[in-house]
Structure 1
């Protein structure tokens, strides 16, 4: 047993070593070993917050990176995430993680439709370690249920988590609903942008890039109480052109039309098997979804980033990313009367072409 003084921050090298050991266990699906690594570290005096964020959080980020690079399957990614979630649960039962609440009450919830719950869980557990009373509602929380909970608990704030940008219109509805009952919102997660630009656009009182920053922000001062729902859902001026609404309503038709046209525009698709065709349809649906949310936010940079990331994921799986520009062209033909959509599609196509040339013939 180590003689390290309990609850002190371990050396960075020790944290990195523990993260490597946890990854070794998680990557082979060994839940028992993963849990033992974490609990042993707590016994040796590792700070619980550091284990949550710098070890478990770091390993979860690596899980996502390994999936994107096609070094693990989607099933392995799901299994690894489940093990990390259970490891967090085991950590919370350790004496080092038992903290008596001395602060106010925070509700932590994921946006409706958001199934990536681990980031929100990490926020919830860090806030508990910092002395907050926390109601963790988990993944995919519909706004009416969230508001009902707020009426019952009188929370001081809501920490709203979102990882998938396509759920931002739903996040906007949740933020507005919370403000309507007088509860401020702290937004966080990859969906809100690396600089929190979408949290600000959608009217959240505050934004934090990660769990530690969220806890620090809440510790400094209470979030300001909203005087009223200061931004209605349709208050984004660029939505007046109805492009977002029309693209969303016609998304299924757009996907079918582009899928059919792609067989002529990209002849290699004619040789696709049933599974490849299904995956192509899914990719097209994601493109239309991201185009729609780009129109909602009025920020085509989001669409460009999604396309370049998609190209990299396709290449990692041996799928020709050259199918993307023809798909964008077909979609542009269908949306030629939608100026903002056409501009975003053109920007996306230009970015893919630039990436292709930069990478010497690939989209990697």
Structure 2
């Protein structure tokens, strides 16, 4: 990663960042090389710095906005695709605001000669479906960085599949293989922008028109969770703030991370609905491990997570599958804390 570019990004200096990328491009690097060797590593480091508590949400958002602008600028040098080339619609999933990965895929497709309709982050589902029906694209591609954005997507993906259009998905939220993608009804899962381009060369232009499946009990519980997601997350946050044995802990950690608590609880709830619709229990383990890292980096005792799982379970009365998933995660959390205590020197 280029040092001058990284420093400009840390400073939130849009002009200096652009100057550094101009220099990299003038040195002979292709657009793809600038993105893969500099912008992507920098964006990963930005995410790590937030996770480690070294950067605020505002700093992370500022750097991400600069990187998105740089990718748009690099894309302006691509030759326009021929009018007769296939059209691909690229979008984030509903409620997924991390648009940079989808933007990178869009630019890779343009560079490969495809026409692209890029919808960006957090599309409105009905508008997206209208766009699909109007454009009748070669394929629809979705990006998800957060696993917590998967819980409300199954019907959307299956509705597009029912039209006979290939649906390709990718991003960290889908994990390291195609199992979650398959569970949600996607045609294929891609591991990288290059993989996405390769899939378009091999997938049929139209697929079998599969009927939208009837919702399962797990789907229905996940839908209820998504409908009441804000209230459930609010219940967890309120419970944590009011718990006598955590009030001192929360007060002592007077960092700005407390304003992030609602977002962390929302992520927890979203991961639960994602685990239900995909049938992937590892999502809850991943959610625990991720949140434990966030709390540790902010100098907060991870026993807070056990209380969070308990509060979440309280809000799920009448939803046995969800409660079972939470109970499993709570058991994992308690065991992890016990193991950590056993490993500490006496």
Instruction: Name the TM-score class by shorter chain.
Output: 0.7 to 0.9
Q: 2:8 aligns with which of 19, 25, 29?
A: 25
Structure 1 counterpart of 2:218: 239
Structure 1 counterpart of 2:247: 269
Q: Give 1:164 shift.
A: 2.2
SS where residue 169 of structure 1 aligns? coil
Q: Note the 1:241-320 alignment, pairs <5 A.
A: 242-248=220-226, 251=229, 254-255=232-233, 258=236, 262=240, 267-269=245-247, 272=250, 279-320=260-301
SS where residue 92 of structure 2 aligns? strand
Structure 1 counterpart of 2:177: 195
Number of residue pairs matched by the alignment: 340
Q: Give 1:348 shift.
A: 1.7
Structure 2 counterpart of 1:7: none
| Greater relative CO (CA pairs within 8 A, separation 6+) | 2
Residue segments in structure 1 that go unaligned for 5+ positions in a row? 1-15
Q: Give 1:231 shift.
A: 4.0
User: Given that residues 53 and 122 in structure 1 are in contact (C-alpha distance below 8 angstroms), is that contact kept between their aligned partners in structure 2?
Assistant: no
Q: 2:308 aligns with which of 308, 327, 335?
A: 327
- Is residue 30 of structure 2 the alignment partner of residue 51 of structure 1? no
Could you give the per-residue CA deviations for residues 306-364 of structure 1, whole angstroms, max 9, x where no partner exists? 1111011011112222111123234435546644333322332233234335555899x
Q: Give 1:197 shift.
A: 1.5
Distance (whole Å) between structure 1 residues aligned to residue 287 and residue 55 of structure 2: 21
Q: 1:227 aligns with which of 208, 225, 244?
A: 208
Could you give the per-residue CA deviations for residues 286-314 of structure 1, whole angstroms, max 9, x where no partner exists? 33332233222222210121111101101
How high is the TM-score relative to the length of structure 2? Answer: 0.86
Q: Give 1:281 shift.
A: 4.8
Q: 2:143 aligns with which of 161, 181, 189?
A: 161
Q: 1:205 to 1:339 in 2, by over 3 A?
A: same
Structure 1 counterpart of 2:126: 144
Q: Give 1:88 shift.
A: 0.9
Q: Give 1:108 shift.
A: 0.8
How high is the TM-score relative to the length of structure 1? Answer: 0.82
Distance (whole Å) between structure 1 residues aligned to residue 266 and residue 31 of structure 2: 41
User: Given that residues 272 and 325 in structure 2 are in contact (C-alpha distance below 8 angstroms), is that contact kept between their aligned partners in structure 1?
Assistant: yes
User: Given that residues 111 and 174 in structure 1 are in contact (C-alpha distance below 8 angstroms), is that contact kept between their aligned partners in structure 2?
Assistant: no
SS where residue 151 of structure 2 aligns? helix
Structure 2 counterpart of 1:67: 50
User: Given that residues 92 and 102 in structure 2 are in contact (C-alpha distance below 8 angstroms), is that contact kept between their aligned partners in structure 1?
Assistant: yes
* Coordinate RMSD, CA, aligned: 2.9
